[in-house]
């Protein structure tokens, strides 16, 4: 049994290359509205590249069921958040060693893709217990948040563009803009799940708010008997569209997983042939090695024009810097008068 092309085409509804005439019209209107609000700059002879690619804009529109006003509201909120958090600078300057350590606490790319080219991630919660959980808890809340942001940026700016450049179904018309995640609950107690709830909630809510429609499907494997209780806690963290993508499997998930992931790309622990554990570096396949070299790049990285490169540190905002300097001078002057 395998996932049919027709089934997958239904999954791709609302993606580039699979838009209905009505959706195409709504997408064009959405871009016009964003351009009028100066939230989006279309390509032009002077800029060449648009400020945002179509796949990114469509993620926001799909998240709001092609209701342009609601999509623009979420997009505006995200753009404001990116400026306030200085996301471009945060990612470009994130220390490589800390970035690599942070990967141990969140879903990790296996280095492989499913039958349609979508990257396969694994998250084994039992690996977050003991010393690892103590290390996680020792990270200040604000820095933990920044780590999550950096890893979401890595997924959206490196993993997805890389997989788009690699051979995949519909590769001429549909960029890869989502991931398949295997969530492994083997050997996880109810107490452990409860102790990790804030950690899991922070990552999930961030994705829903600012990285919408990046989940292709979530396969929960080795689900314990108490999982319905856990699902009752966490389902509110996701929007309705994401909740429908969750599939709960038992302790022998291989037969179902192999319907959409080839055995050589599926870790052995889940019924495949790939030598991969959650703690491992991505095991790149031949096309990925040809694109990247023999090893996975370390630290923050982006995939642009067929190459893995370091993100560019944005130039200082001259006006903002001048305002800060004026404020400091004023405070200093007022202090001198006291």
pLDDT at residue number 328: 40
Q: Band the pLDDT of 329: cuts 50, 70, 90.
A: very low
Mean pLDDT of 48-64: 93
For residue range 77-88, what is the model confidence (pLDDT) as tens digits? 999 999 999 999
pLDDT at residue number 86: 97
Lowest mean pLDDT segment, chosen from 50-64, 90-104, 171-185, 226-240: 226-240
* Cα distance between residue 205 and residue 312, in whole Å: 27
* Cα distance between residue 200 and residue 197, in whole Å: 5
User: Residue 321 above 60 pLDDT?
Assistant: no
Mean pLDDT of 67-83: 97
The beta strand positions in the chain, using DSSP E, are 108-113, 119-124, 179-184, 215-221, 246-248, 302-304, 307-309
User: Percent of the chain beyond pLDDT 90?
Assistant: 69
pLDDT at residue number 325: 38
pLDDT at residue number 333: 39
pLDDT at residue number 282: 96
3-state secondary structure (DSSP) of residue 329? helix
User: Residue 206 above 60 pLDDT?
Assistant: yes
For residue range 262-315, what is the model confidence (pLDDT) as tens digits? 999 999 999 999 999 999 999 999 999 999 988 899 999 999 999 999 999 998
pLDDT at residue number 10: 67
pLDDT at residue number 253: 94
| Cα end-to-end span (Å), the chain | 80
Reference 87, options 96, 95, 79; nearest CA is 79
How far from 233 is each of 8, 119, 228, 239, 258, CA to CA, in Å?
A: 30, 27, 9, 14, 29
3-state secondary structure (DSSP) of residue 321? helix
* Cα distance between residue 111 and residue 86, in whole Å: 29
* Contact of 117 with 169, CB cutoff 8 Å: yes
User: Percent of the chain beyond pLDDT 70?
Assistant: 90
Unique residue bearing structure tokens 């995640």? 181
Q: Band the pLDDT of 213: cuts 50, 70, 90.
A: very high
Most confident by average pLDDT, 138-147, 193-202, 232-241:
138-147
* Cα distance between residue 39 and residue 77, in whole Å: 11
pLDDT at residue number 5: 54
Q: Determine the longest span between alpha carbons in the chain, in angstroms.
A: 81
Please report the sign of the dihedral spanned by the C-alpha atoms of residue 272, residue 106, residue 190, residue 134: positive
Q: Which positions ≥6 away from 73 have C-beta within 8 Å?
A: none
pLDDT at residue number 47: 66
For residue range 227-262, what is the model confidence (pLDDT) as tens digits? 888 888 888 888 777 888 899 998 889 999 999 999
Mean pLDDT of 35-42: 95
Q: Band the pLDDT of 38: cuts 50, 70, 90.
A: very high
* Cα distance between residue 66 and residue 30, in whole Å: 9
pLDDT at residue number 123: 96
* Contact of 206 with 141, CB cutoff 8 Å: no
User: Residue 326 above 50 pLDDT?
Assistant: no
For residue range 172-189, what is the model confidence (pLDDT) as tens digits? 678 999 999 999 999 999
Unique residue bearing structure tokens 């291989």? 254
All structural domains of the chain: 3-85 (1.10.8.20), 105-309 (3.40.525.10)
pLDDT at residue number 4: 55
Average pLDDT, rounded, for the chain: 88
For residue range 283-295, what is the model confidence (pLDDT) as tens digits? 999 999 999 988 8
């Amino acid at each position: 049994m395998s996932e049919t092309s027709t089934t997958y085409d239904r999954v791709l509804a609302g993606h580039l290359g699979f838009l209905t005439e009505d959706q195409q019209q709504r997408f064009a209107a959405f871009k016009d509205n964003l351009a009028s609000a100066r939230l989006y700059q279309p390509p032009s002879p002077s800029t060449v590249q648009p400020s945002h690619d179509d796949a990114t804009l469509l993620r926001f529109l799909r998240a709001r069921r092609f209701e342009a006003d609601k999509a623009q509201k979420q997009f505006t909120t995200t753009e404001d958040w990116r400026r306030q958090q200085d996301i471009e600078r945060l990612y470009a300057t994130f220390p490589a060693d800390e970035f690599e350590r942070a990967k141990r606490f969140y879903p990790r790319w296996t280095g492989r893709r499913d039958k349609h080219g979508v990257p396969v991630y694994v998250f084994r919660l039992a690996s977050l217990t003991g010393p690892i959980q103590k290390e996680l808890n020792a990270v200040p809340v604000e820095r933990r948040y920044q780590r999550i942001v950096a890893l979401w940026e890595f997924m959206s700016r490196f993993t997805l563009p890389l997989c788009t450049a690699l051979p995949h179904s519909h590769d001429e018309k549909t960029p890869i803009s989502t991931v398949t995640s295997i969530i492994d609950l083997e050997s996880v107690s109810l107490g452990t799940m409860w102790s990790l709830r804030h950690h899991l909630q922070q990552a999930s809510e961030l994705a829903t708010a600012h990285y919408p429609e990046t989940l292709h499907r979530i396969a929960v494997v080795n689900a314990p008997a108490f999982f319905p209780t856990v699902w009752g806690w966490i389902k509110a963290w996701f929007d309705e569209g994401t909740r429908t993508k969750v599939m709960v499997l038992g302790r022998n998930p291989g037969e179902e997983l192999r319907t959409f992931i080839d055995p050589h790309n599926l870790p052995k622990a889940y019924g495949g042939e790939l030598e991969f554990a959650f703690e491992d570096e991505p095991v790149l396949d031949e096309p990925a090695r040809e694109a990247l070299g023999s090893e996975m790049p370390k630290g923050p990285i982006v995939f642009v024009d067929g190459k893995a490169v370091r993100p560019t540190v944005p130039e200082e905002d001259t006006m903002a810097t001048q305002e800060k300097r004026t404020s400091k001078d004023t405070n200093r002057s007022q202090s001198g008068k006291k």
